[in-house]
Amino acid sequence: MTIVKITLFFALALLLGTPYTAKAAGFRSLEVSGLRIGLWYPSEAKEIATRLGPFDVEIAQDAPVANGYFQPILMSHGNSGRFRNHHLTAKALANAGFIVVAPDHTVDHLIGGSEVYQAINWRITELSHALEAILQIEAFRNVIDLSQIHGLGYSLGTLTVMAAAGAGIDGPAADKHCLKNKDPNFCDTPSLFLRWKLKWLRDVSPPDLVRKIPNVYFSLPIINGDVVLVAPLGQGLKINENLFQARKVLVLGFENDKINVPKYHANKVAEIIPRNVLYNFIMHPMAHHSAFIAPFAKRVTDKEYISAAQDPPGFDRSTFLDVLNSEIVDFLLRKPN
């Protein structure tokens, strides 16, 4: 399909108000220069039941990408998480016609220590490199629309995608917050032992992210489309309207979040985002911090206790994620103003 035909196809789809819907969500797990990358994308192949770590999933594993032209979403998981934790959201986005690119961040054991800013910068580098790596695959290079690069972040990942869109990090402001407020998860410094135990448990090492992109191809990517922030971090975030590149931002706070306490974080984020950029701020009642993680398979929870898999009585995580994913998809599919 030529560029002209692709443009006409999508222009007609917008005029008719009919969004693209994939027959299946394709998935590939890659490792490039030591960086693990999850890739979800529209496909015409048949989905099959399989396993993705502690999750039971239905995906078109290693299937061909569908014909079309699809905008990418850079997805950043929370502190010490993994891309597979958000497979349901990524699948919903692939079904809606997006390509989701999600690295496993490798230096989260540095978060909380003196190298926290270097860790955030490394997270941004990993997002950039993950997209570059996907563009080295010929089948994807020809279907990715780089005119709009979107961002989806969870917890610490919200700070990552905001920084990748041009927001700044104000360390002194965060320190001032911690002097005045009891915000233990954000302010308390984990011990060196705990941080390196985390590194050992996750079995990750910082990858060798050497640029191997042909110098005639494309410039470094930056998030310049829409941004979704789920259970966000807000302290220390600074936005200069002349530098911030995001088109619109959707903030999704969780009322019962004991990790990123909403009054210090989600509310703060919604407050500092320029009014012409903030699309909506939704506070979900009853939702707790781990509610954004897909339900773990019963085969796993029957054998071991996983704190992130636990829900309070009466909270249905699957139903909640259906609602959350619909909000995210609807936001990203809306027609720009």
CA distance 164 to 224: 9
pLDDT of residue 336: 73
Q: How far apart, in whole angstroms, are the C-alpha atoms of residue 225 and residue 262?
A: 25
Read off φ and ψ for residue 215, nearest 5 degrees. -70, 0
User: Does the residue 145 lie in any domain?
Assistant: yes
Task: For 79-138, write each residue's pLDDT tens digit.
Answer: 999 999 999 999 999 999 999 999 999 988 778 766 788 888 889 989 998 998 999 899
Q: Which of 1-15, 141-155, 177-191 has the lowest mean pLDDT?
A: 1-15
Q: Is 238 exposed, middle or buried (0-12, 13-18, 19+ CB in 10 A)?
A: middle
* C-alpha–C-alpha distance, residues 36 and 53, integer Å: 14
Report angle CA 47, 52, 55 to the nearest 5 degrees: 100
72/75 Cα distance (integer angstroms): 9
Token pair of 82 as six digits: 């993994």
Compute the distance between CA of residue 157 and CA of residue 124 in angstroms, rounded to an integer.
Answer: 10
pTM of this structure: 0.88
- Name the phi and psi angles at 326, rounded to 5: -65, -40
Q: How far apart are CA 152 and CA 34, in angstroms?
A: 23
Check residue 15 and give its pLDDT: 37
> Residue 261 and residue 329: Cα distance in Å, rounded?
25
pLDDT band at residue 4 using 50, 70 and 90 as cut-offs? very low
Is 57:68 a contact under the CB 8 Å cutoff?
no
Report how far residue 322's alpha carbon sits from residue 302's, in angstroms, rounded to the nearest whole number.
Answer: 24
Query: How many domains does the structure of the chain reveal?
Result: 1
**For residues 208-220, average pLDDT:** 49
Residue of 266, 206, 256 lying closest to 231 (CA atoms) = 266
Distance separating alpha carbons of residues 261 and 185, to the nearest angstrom? 9
Residue 226, beta-bridge partner list: none
Asked if the model's pLDDT at residue 209 lies above 80, the reply is no
pLDDT at position 194 over 90: no
Confidence of residue 305 (pLDDT cuts 50, 70, 90): very high
Angle at 327 between CA 323 and CA 329, to 5 degrees: 115
Residue 277 counted as domain residue: yes
Does any domain span residue 15? no
Determine the Cα angle at 130 with ends 162 and 203, to 5°: 100
307-329: average pLDDT: 97
CATH code assigned at 297: 3.40.50.1820
3-state SS class at 297: coil
Report the candidate in 99, 245, 243, 76 with the shortest Cα–Cα distance to residue 151: 76
Residue with the bigger pLDDT between 186 and 333: it is 333
Task: Look up residue 249 and give its amino acid.
Answer: V
Residue 124 included in any domain: yes
Grade residue 43 by pLDDT with cuts at 50, 70 and 90.
very high
The boundaries of the domain holding residue 38 are 23-333
User: Is residue 258 assigned to a domain?
Assistant: yes
Residue with tokens 């994807």: 140
**In the chain, what percentage of residues exceed pLDDT 70?**
84
Share of the chain above pLDDT 90, in %: 68
Q: Kindly indicate the confidence band of residue 10, based on its pLDDT and cuts at 50, 70 and 90.
A: very low
User: What are 297's two structure tokens?
Assistant: 């398979």
pLDDT band at 7 (very low <50, low <70, confident <90, very high): very low
Residue 18 domain-assigned (yes or no): no
Q: How far apart are CA 127 and CA 123, in angstroms?
A: 6
**Residue 16 located in a structural domain:** no
Please check whether residue 4 lies inside any domain of the structure. no
User: CB neighbours of 68 closer than 8 A, spacing ≥ 6?
Assistant: 1, 6, 9, 20, 42, 97, 143
CB 271 within 8 A of CB 201: no
